[in-house]
Amino acid sequence: MSSKDIKPMSLKTYNSIVRDFHKTTLFSRKTENELKMKYKDVPTFTMGSIISLLVQRSMKQSYRKSPSISSKYMDLYKELMKENKKADVILSLAESQGISPALFVRSLLQNVSSDSLVVKKYVKDTTLIENKDLAFQVFVAIVNDNQYGPHADIIKQSIGLEYELRLERELRLLNISFSDEKLLRMRGYDKTPDFKLDVPIAIDGFIVNWIESKALFGDEENHMGYLKEQLICYWNRFGPGLVIYWFGYLETLELTSEVNNMFILRTRLPDKEHITQYKLDM
């Protein structure tokens, strides 16, 4: 399903997804696939983004780093490895502890090295781990974690860049002149939107001076964070703009005082017939 088909999500549907998510303690691909099967009407990327947000929030509340916890994880790992050497030993332990596989790995590897930089190297390249059984288990855990670890980070960064490039391409096709984030920073701006339009446009009659691309789902919590850290600043500096949540957003966001005043929300750049372009007076 393309972003053209994505509509704001009802609060009822969103709350149902959240309830089902909190019924599980498994933070791996299996949970995501099961939820996608249940909510087939929700676009795949939308569901993936919602789950990503929920996992990260759950981990912020439950994940704790300490030598005692790391030692406990290593004891559990060694005990289970004595019983069997199946590929999913760390995945099973992560599920039993209610933690993401990659975060379980980070804690576990603190028993191998107390140097956090070395642990990061192990996570990025498991062949550096001398114990080959452990190296294999760590590798399986990391590739099965959609939310944490180097593979997940690269995927998220790539998706964000993909949609920025898509937006840039669409703006160029419409002959809409703009300054991107890199150029704005060269001009001395510290907080910048992805695209500052050189000449404002109107979308369905609303004046737009800048566009911010978000390759994720917008719910109330992350939207309020963006509002405080970015969007109000853009409005103060450049005037009203457009925020694109490519994977959809919660319908209740439309009811907030900032929306349709400071900026409008969309799930893509609207079609040409919805855009009014102005010429720069010479």
Give the helix ranges, DSSP H, for the chain: 11-21, 29-38, 44-62, 67-83, 89-97, 101-108, 116-124, 132-143, 150-173, 181-186, 220-226, 232-238
- Residue 1's pLDDT is 43
Q: Could you tell me which of 20, 57, 39, 10 has the C-alpha nearest to residue 249?
A: 10
Residue 171 in contact with residue 119, Cβ under 8 Å? no
Q: What's the confidence (pLDDT) of residue 264?
A: 98
Q: Are strands 275-277 and 263-266 parallel, antiparallel or unpaired?
A: unpaired
Q: How far apart are CA 26 and CA 139, in angstroms?
A: 18
Nearest to 267 by CA among 242, 238, 245, 241: 245
For the chain, the structural domain boundaries read 67-148, 176-277
CB atoms under 10 Å from CB of 230, counted, come to 16
Q: Quick one: pLDDT at residue 32?
A: 79
Task: Pull the structure tokens for residue 123.
Answer: 């996570």
Q: Quick one: tokens of 94? A: 């992560």
The answer to whether 71 and 111 have CB atoms below 8 angstroms apart is yes
Q: How far apart are CA 198 and CA 210, in angstroms?
A: 9
The secondary structure element, H or E, covering residue 242 is strand 241-245
CA triplet 147, 47, 142: central angle to 5 degrees? 20
Would you say 8 and 248 are in contact if contact means Cβ atoms under 8 Å apart? yes
Dist CA 136 CA 140 (whole Å)? 6
Which residues are CB-contacts of 218 (< 8 A; sequence separation ≥ 6)? 226, 243, 245, 248, 249, 250, 253, 265
pLDDT under 70: residue ranges of the chain: 1-5, 25-28, 62, 64, 85, 280-282
